[in-house]
Amino acid sequence: MTRTLRLPDQAAFDALQSRLRAPAKPSPTLTPAPEGDRWPLELDRQLRLAGIEDQELEYRFTVERKWRFDIAWPKRMFAVEVDGAVHRIKSRFKADLEKHQAAFRFNWRVLRVSPAQVISGEALQMVTDTLHA
């Protein structure tokens, strides 16, 4: 039997939809979720477990465009981008290239890591080494 949820108005629908799209709270284990957008959240969780808590997620580094870094330390001009499979799509690759070139012009240091490096802990190690250098 299929049940249909009927909402009284658009505001109620929008509220329900935003709740359903809200990021899930990271699990207490080190097992990351497989979705692409989850990798930056997993790295952030690993950083917090390592005692690093001054980072910002989805940091918008320029007012000229809507570009964002996955994780950033604005005072240090350091950012991390987790590049999953979606970044290999031709149009996305070109947009990423433009974004990273702009970050370079604004003097940002950007570390690009893969989901596999997040899973293995290699990304965490590279970030902590950079922050403590």
Is there a domain that residue 102 lies in? Answer: yes
In this predicted structure, what is the pLDDT of residue 73? 97
Neighbours of 31 (CB within 10 A): 9
Which CATH number does the domain housing residue 69 bear? Answer: 3.40.960.10
What is the tens place of the pLDDT at every residue in 68-105?
999 999 999 999 999 875 555 556 778 888 999 999 99
Q: What's the token pair of residue 13?
A: 């629908």
- Rounded to whole angstroms, the Cα distance separating 79 from 56 reads 9
% of the chain with per-residue pLDDT over 90: 54
Per-residue pLDDT at 129 exceeds 70: yes
Is there a domain that residue 16 lies in? Answer: no
Is there a domain that residue 21 lies in? Answer: no
Give me the chain's average pLDDT, please.
Answer: 80
CA dist list (Å): 77 to 41, 49, 104, 111, 112: 20, 22, 10, 11, 14
**In terms of pLDDT, which residue wins out, 26 or 58?**
58
Is there a domain that residue 17 lies in? Answer: no
Which residues constitute the domain of residue 112? 35-131
Is there a domain that residue 58 lies in? Answer: yes
What is the tens place of the pLDDT at every residue in 45-57?
999 999 999 999 9
Is there a domain that residue 22 lies in? Answer: no
- The closest alpha carbon to 69, from 32, 33, 43, belongs to 43
- Rounded to whole angstroms, the Cα distance separating 78 from 56 reads 11
> How many angstroms separate the first and last alpha carbons of the chain?
60
Number of structural domains, the chain? 1
Answer yes or no: pTM beyond 0.75.
Answer: no
**In terms of pLDDT, which residue wins out, 57 or 8?**
57
Is there a domain that residue 83 lies in? Answer: yes
Residue 65 pLDDT class (50, 70, 90 cuts): confident
Is there a domain that residue 63 lies in? Answer: yes
In this predicted structure, what is the pLDDT of residue 49? 96
In this predicted structure, what is the pLDDT of residue 26? 45
Per-residue pLDDT at 64 exceeds 90: no
